[in-house]
């Protein structure tokens, strides 16, 4: 079968076309996206930019291949809020996962529900800045007239499903990242919903009980994209859920680390999962399990900011970092440029600590940046192990996984072997594989094992002596985080 995977990210829309017989991507195209940046943490996009980019991507695929596509599945950036009217129009710019401007609304909702701890224990998650719930409350408070016109709350991937099929539905993986779903029951939590507005429950789409095919591509959309009218659309999911499939994290024990704009660390578990300390998000997967996940809001963001400041390209930046010693001669970076989710610092700022006349060097700054970003992942690894999730090896994906230096850094810091898939398009490939699974049936674990290959030349084994050094540095870095927290509220 020929399947298409759409990856709707923050920086671009990508489409890949995958042939399950030859086990290869036979066509692909990407279109860049702009970002609306405003004061107070505003990060937005226009939904029309996504559909325009999807159209351009499909039209860049040869016509004969497009006509053979039998199923499409969409991966979308999580947590974004798309307010859709009854006529299908989008009423406002889409507030994205990285928008922290609605942090006050998070606290307002949690206060109504008895506080963060009580809410988290009841539905599995608190309501963090970036989650969808606070964006809806912000919209109701600041644009009440538009809120009244809103018929349906959608997430980015839901909106693209709607564009393709006309169906208004959510699936449990992406829905679990709204802050409004009970992850134990797979249903909307009526109290959490009512804390935003009594009528919001009527504006939320139904949650599918299990992954499935949601419909066929609409006739007019099929014509516009050059697709067959028999092309099916799978339920899809959030980008992390699709990356789990695309990297083989579909069964207990498989752990994936994504080094992208944001950083994520996740694993598939077969039981309902809840981290009582809320270090890990208690998400559902889009293949029928649960997906405990650490998300940092600053990963390649931090390295891009610092290398831009120093005037380096990626290769030169990594080269400078590799020249510096472990610990960067005392420099430590807190890479909270966009605020941070874990630790929970929506007003966080980047900090470069420990500068002396002798250690302010390009190599030390570059290495301290990558060390600081990777230390954040250790917060997640600690939480995984404390919650009984084995971490014996790590699959790396995302742009950062292309760096030999960063791959070795992850291996040394974690003390685990690292492997990298042949395909760098984890979310898009995961979407295509989900589509194959739902269209043709079978076992998702077997499908992942059959279709996901790994590149042995990009594997990294940990140096345990270096690991010991990093554990000592991690304790110092963690103390720096703790003592810096009060400064962010000044």
Residues 356 and 386 in one domain: yes
Cα 276 from Cα 219, distance rounded (Å):
47
* CATH number for position 285: 3.30.420.40
Cα 51 from Cα 55, distance rounded (Å):
6
Residues 6 and 97 in one domain: yes
Instruction: Please report whether residue 172 resides in a domain.
Output: yes
- Is residue 239 part of the annotated active site? The answer reads yes
How confident is the model over 70-82, as pLDDT tens digits? Answer: 999 999 999 999 9
Instruction: Please report whether residue 434 resides in a domain.
Output: no
Residues 205 and 291 in one domain: no
Residues 129 and 51 in one domain: yes
Which residues have a Cβ under 8 Å from the Cβ of 210 and sit 6 or more positions away?
172, 288
Cα 411 from Cα 294, distance rounded (Å):
18
Instruction: Please report whether residue 99 resides in a domain.
Output: yes
- Provide the percentage of residues in the chain whose pLDDT is more than 90: 88
**Strand ranges for 129-286 from DSSP E:** 150-154, 170-171, 181-182, 187-188, 207-208, 213-216, 232-234, 237-238, 255-259, 263-267, 281-284
Question: Could you tell me which of 85, 98, 83, 129 has the C-alpha nearest to residue 33?
Answer: 98
CB atoms within 10 A of CB 135: 30
Instruction: Please report whether residue 118 resides in a domain.
Output: yes
Domain termination site, one of 191, 219, 239: 239
Q: Which residues pair with 421 in a beta bridge?
A: 454
DSSP one-letter code for 351: E
Q: What is the mean pLDDT of residues 281-291?
A: 95
Instruction: Please report whether residue 431 resides in a domain.
Output: no
- Provide the percentage of residues in the chain whose pLDDT is more than 70: 100
| pLDDT over 90 at 32, yes or no | yes
Instruction: Please report whether residue 376 resides in a domain.
Output: yes
| pLDDT over 80 at 300, yes or no | yes
How confident is the model over 477-490, as pLDDT tens digits? Answer: 999 999 998 888 76
**Range list of H helices, 226-295:** 239-246
Task: Give the model's pLDDT for residue 198.
Answer: 96
Instruction: Please report whether residue 454 resides in a domain.
Output: no
Residues 36 and 140 in one domain: yes
Residues 212 and 123 in one domain: yes
Task: Give the model's pLDDT for residue 490.
Answer: 67
Residues 104 and 206 in one domain: yes
Residues 284 and 178 in one domain: no
Residues 218 and 359 in one domain: no
Cα 269 from Cα 283, distance rounded (Å):
10
Cα 490 from Cα 384, distance rounded (Å):
33
β pairing state of 290-296 and 281-284: antiparallel
Check: CB of residue 222 under 8 Å from CB of residue 234: no
Among the options 7, 99, 189, 239, which is catalytic?
Answer: 239
Cβ contacts of 103-109, under 8 Å, gap ≥ 24: 103/41, 103/129, 103/134, 103/346, 103/347, 105/133, 105/134, 105/135, 105/137, 105/138, 105/141, 106/131, 106/133, 106/134, 106/346, 108/137, 109/133, 109/134, 109/137, 109/179, 109/192, 109/195, 109/196
Domain termination site, one of 208, 239, 270: 239
**How many domains are there within the chain?**
2
Backbone Cα Rg of the chain: 22
Cα 35 from Cα 240, distance rounded (Å):
20
Q: Which tokens is 13 given?
A: 């829309």
How confident is the model over 150-168, as pLDDT tens digits? Answer: 999 999 999 999 999 999 9
Question: Could you tell me which of 165, 193, 198 has the C-alpha nearest to residue 178?
Answer: 193
Residues 474 and 341 in one domain: yes
CB atoms within 10 A of CB 424: 15
Instruction: Please report whether residue 328 resides in a domain.
Output: yes
Distance of CA 161 to the CA centre of its chain: 18
Residues 195 and 283 in one domain: no
Which residues have a Cβ under 8 Å from the Cβ of 489 and sit 6 or more positions away?
347
Element (H, E) at 75: strand 69-76
Domain termination site, one of 205, 239, 273: 239
Q: Which domain holds residue 202?
A: 2-239
Q: Which tokens is 139 given?
A: 């919209």
Cα 176 from Cα 169, distance rounded (Å):
14
Residues 175 and 302 in one domain: no
How confident is the model over 453-479, as pLDDT tens digits? Answer: 999 999 999 999 999 999 999 999 999
DSSP one-letter code for 485: G
């Amino acid at each position: 079968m020929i399947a298409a995977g759409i990856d709707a990210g923050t920086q671009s829309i990508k489409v890949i076309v995958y042939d399950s017989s030859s086990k290869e991507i036979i066509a692909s195209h990407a279109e860049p996206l702009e970002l609306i940046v405003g004061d107070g943490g505003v990060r937005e996009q226009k939904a029309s930019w996504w559909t325009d980019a999807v159209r351009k991507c499909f039209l860049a695929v040869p016509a004969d291949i497009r006509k053979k596509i039998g199923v499409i599945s969409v991966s979308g950036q999580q947590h974004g809020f798309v307010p859709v009217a009854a006529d299908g129009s989008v009423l406002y710019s889409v507030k994205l996962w990285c928008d922290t401007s609605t942090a006050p609304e998070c606290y307002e909702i949690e206060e109504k529900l008895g506080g963060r701890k009580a809410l988290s224990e009841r539905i599995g998650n608190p309501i963090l800045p970036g989650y969808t719930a606070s964006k809806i409350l912000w919209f109701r408070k600041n644009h009440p007239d538009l809120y009244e016109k809103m018929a349906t709350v959608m997430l980015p991937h839901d909106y693209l499903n709607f564009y393709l099929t006309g169906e208004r539905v959510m699936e449990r993986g992406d829905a679990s990242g709204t802050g409004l779903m009970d992850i134990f029951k797979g249903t909307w939590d009526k109290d959490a919903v009512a804390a935003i507005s009594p009528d919001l429950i009527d504006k939320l789409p139904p949650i599918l009980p299990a992954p499935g095919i949601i419909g066929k591509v609409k006739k007019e959309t099929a014509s516009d994209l050059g697709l067959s009218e028999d092309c099916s659309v799978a339920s899809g999911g959030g980008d992390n859920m699709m990356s789990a499939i695309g990297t083989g994290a579909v069964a207990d024990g498989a752990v994936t680390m994504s080094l992208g704009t944001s950083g994520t660390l996740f694993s598939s578990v077969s039981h309902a999962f809840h981290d009582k300390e809320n270090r890990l998000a208690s998400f559902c997967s889009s293949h029928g399990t649960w997906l405990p996940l650490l998300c940092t809001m600053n990963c390649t963001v931090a390295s891009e900011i610092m290398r831009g400041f120093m005037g380096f390209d990626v290769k030169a930046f990594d080269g400078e970092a590799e020249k510096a010693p472990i610990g960067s001669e005392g420099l430590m970076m807190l890479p909270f440029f966009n605020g941070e989710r874990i630790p929970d610092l929506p007003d966080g700022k980047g900090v470069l600590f420990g500068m002396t006349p002798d250690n302010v060097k390009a190599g030390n700054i570059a290495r301290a940046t990558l060390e600081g970003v990777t230390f954040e992942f250790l917060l997640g690894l600690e939480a995984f192990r404390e919650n009984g999730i084995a971490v014996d090896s790590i699959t790396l994906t995302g742009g950062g996984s292309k760096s030999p230096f960063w791959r070795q850094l992850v291996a040394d810091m974690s003390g685990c072997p690292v492997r990298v898939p042949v395909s760098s398009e984890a979310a898009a490939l995961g979407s295509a594989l989900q589509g194959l699974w739902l269209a043709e049936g079978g076992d998702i674990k077997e499908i992942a094992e059959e279709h996901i290959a790994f590149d042995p030349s990009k594997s990294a084994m940990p140096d345990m002596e270096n690991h010991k050094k990093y554990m000592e540095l991690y304790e110092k870095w963690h103390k720096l985080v703790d003592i810096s927290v009060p400064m962010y509220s000044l």
